[in-house]
């Protein structure tokens, strides 16, 4: 779930919980609002955790490695 979708769920849940006064038979709109706000908050926290762990990256890339044993090859000796 993206951060934008999480914020959307929180906003819709808050509207249902605090602003809507209508009643529907068999469903409590305020409870649905609370559930949406909790789902949005969980999605927001998980999205931020995944984004933070992805931006850290992995270990640095390995370089060319150590020089060969005995130093560099000899030049023109003869």
Distance CA 60, CA 64 (A): 13
pLDDT at 36 over 70: yes
- Per residue in 3-14, pLDDT (tens digit) is 899 999 999 999
Q: Name the average pLDDT for the chain.
A: 84
Distance CA 18, CA 13 (A): 8
Q: What is the pLDDT of residue 53?
A: 82
- Per residue in 48-71, pLDDT (tens digit) is 998 888 777 666 666 676 766 776
Q: What is the pLDDT of residue 62?
A: 66
Q: What is the pLDDT of residue 47?
A: 92
Domain borders along the chain are 3-56
Distance CA 48, CA 2 (A): 9
Question: CA nearest 15: which of 1, 34, 2, 28?
Answer: 34
Going 57 to 58 to 61 to 66, the CA torsion angle's sign is: positive
């Amino acid at each position: 779930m993206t951060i934008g979708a999480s914020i959307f769920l929180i906003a819709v849940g808050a509207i249902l919980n605090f602003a809507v006064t209508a009643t529907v038979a068999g469903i409590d709109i305020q409870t649905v609002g609370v559930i949406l706000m909790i789902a949005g908050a969980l999605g927001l926290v998980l999205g931020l955790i995944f984004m933070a762990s992805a931006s850290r990256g992995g270990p640095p890339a390995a370089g060319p490695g150590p020089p060969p044993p005995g130093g560099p090859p000899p030049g023109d000796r003869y």
